[in-house]
A and B are shown apart, each in its own frame.
Chain A
Amino acid sequence: MPDEIKTLSSQLAQDPDSLVFLRLGELLRHKGQLDTAHRVALTGLERHPHLPDAHDLYARILADKHDYERAFDEWDMALRIAPDHVGALKGLAFLYFKIGDVQQAAAHLEAAQRVAPDDPGVAQALAMARGGEGGPADAEAVAGGGATEALTAPEPIAPAAQPLEEARVFAGLEGAQEGLLLLDASGRVLGGALKDSGGRDVTDAVAAYLAGVSQEAARTVKLLGLGKWTGLAAEGHHGHVHLAAPTSDALLLVVRDRAVPMGRLAVIAQRAALAARRWLEAHA
């Protein structure tokens, strides 16, 4: 194994964009070199932020370091990018067992089994969760152990959701194909598109990161007794963004450079939200 680590490290040094970091991170994790594994996974994730296997690897390292909250986020992110990712489903099942939510754990294992019916680890954990031999603690061990197998048999990356009739959602609105994005609650792109300053399409990446924002915003303002959330405006180093909820199940993102004042951005967002609401109602 040390030789393999050396070889993989050398390969990664020669080609930092290589996916070899997945195997290297996993080997280091198995060896208990968690800090090194953490660095390798994080560097890989920075280069491949849309790769579910990278989030899965990072989550397993975090779980080994008992950082369960961030591990949850990473597996959650992997699932948002690839909803059928078996490693992430098993990882989340493991975390649900950890907190004693056997029902949720079983639901995730069932989802994993639908994708990988021949995975013995999933079947065993599921049997235990359903009250077979062993108990939740054993099932937790199986689910957690099972999660480590994801990289030896990597799951294919799910194809990105295709925008639906994107041109029609924001027809006639400024920046419809580069600075407006409409998502559903799970982060699926319903319309619009985003490009970064280099002209690269970043639609799916941004959509994946924004999945769940609407629900979190709603929970936050509810907790504070502030009524419904109406928008989220943010200033960045190179641009401004505005988020709005045209309906309770949808999220609208408007991105503009810093030359556009926040007030103007809010007006653009308001118009786009109106167009999106009409479009969503028409397609309901």
Chain B
Amino acid sequence: MTAPAAAYGKALDLITRVRSVRGAMLVSAEDGIVVAEQLMEGIKGPAVSALAASLAARLRRAMEAAGVGASLFWHLQAEQGALLVVPTSGGTLVVAVASRTSMWDWCASSCCGRRR
């Protein structure tokens, strides 16, 4: 395993350890390609990553046009869970798929909690 791949694996491991997180990915923001992933069986990583990158791009453009700047963190909430996305300065998206009970744990420990 190369050094970056090991680092990605370690980062994803920290996310997927959170209770009820079903998977995490590093996705190229530009083209939606999966850079690294740790997903539970049944999650279609490439399709989800493509949609997440597309949503991120639309959201970024809309937010910039609205004058609130690029997004630091966004989450798509659904009845049974959420998709949580953190765009990084390096042009990747950290994407986590969470079931309903886990998303706030993840947000508090890995994202909002870290920045606040």
- Are A and B a genuine interacting pair, yes or no? yes
Residue ranges of A at the interface with B (Cβ–Cβ < 8 Å): 49, 69-70, 73, 194, 196-198, 200, 202, 205-206, 209-210, 212-213, 216-217, 219-221, 223-241, 253, 255, 257
Instruction: Given A73-B57, A209-B61, A234-B63, answer yes or no on A221-B83 (Cβ-Cβ < 8 Å).
Output: yes
Instruction: Report A37 CB to chain B, min CB distance, Å.
Output: 19
Closest Cβ of chain A: how far from B88's Cβ, in Å? Answer: 14
For the complex, is B58 an interface residue (Cβ under 8 Å from A)? yes
5 closest A-B pairs by beta carbon, nearest first, are A196-B67, A227-B79, A237-B69, A239-B68, A234-B74
Q: Are A194 and B48 in contact (CB under 8 A)?
A: no
B48: A residues at CB distance < 8 A: 220, 223-224
Other A-B pairs beyond A200-B67, A209-B65, A240-B68, 17, CB < 8 Å:
A49-B61, A73-B57, A202-B66, A206-B66, A220-B55, A220-B83, A226-B79, A226-B83, A227-B78, A227-B80, A229-B77, A232-B59, A234-B59, A234-B63, A239-B69, A255-B66, A255-B68
B75 with A232: CB separation less than 8 A: yes
B43 interfacial contact with A, CB 8 Å: yes
User: Least Cβ distance of B97 to chain A in Å?
Assistant: 6
Query: Chain B interface (Cβ within 8 Å of chain A)?
Result: 31, 42-44, 47-48, 51-52, 54-55, 57-59, 61-63, 65-83, 97, 99
A220 touches which of B52, B62, B70, B99 (Cβ 8 Å): B52
The reply to whether A238 and B78 contact each other, CB–CB distance below 8 Å, is no
